[in-house]
């Protein structure tokens, strides 16, 4: 019984980590257009300087 509880906790930990990874990736993907805009602005800024 005790072993089963520990296993359950471990599974929960792994599941939570996966969810966190997914959330992070989702957040990054959701913000990609913003990053793209920033990068484009930087690129055009450097091009104008050169």
Alpha carbon 31 to its chain centroid, in Å, reads 10
Summarised one tens digit per residue, pLDDT across range 39-49 is 899 999 888 87
d(CA 6, CA 11): 9
> SS3 for 50?
coil
pLDDT of residue 36: 86
Work out the number of other CB atoms within 10 angstroms of the CB of residue 25: 10
d(CA 24, CA 42): 25
Summarised one tens digit per residue, pLDDT across range 1-50 is 556 667 778 888 878 888 888 888 888 777 778 888 988 999 998 888 77
pLDDT of residue 23: 81
pLDDT of residue 1: 52
């Amino acid at each position: 019984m005790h072993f089963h509880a520990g296993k359950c906790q471990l599974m929960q930990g792994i599941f939570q980590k996966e969810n966190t990874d997914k959330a992070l990736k989702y957040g990054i993907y959701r913000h990609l257009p913003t990053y793209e805009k920033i990068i484009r602005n930087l690129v055009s800024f450097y091009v104008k300087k050169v």
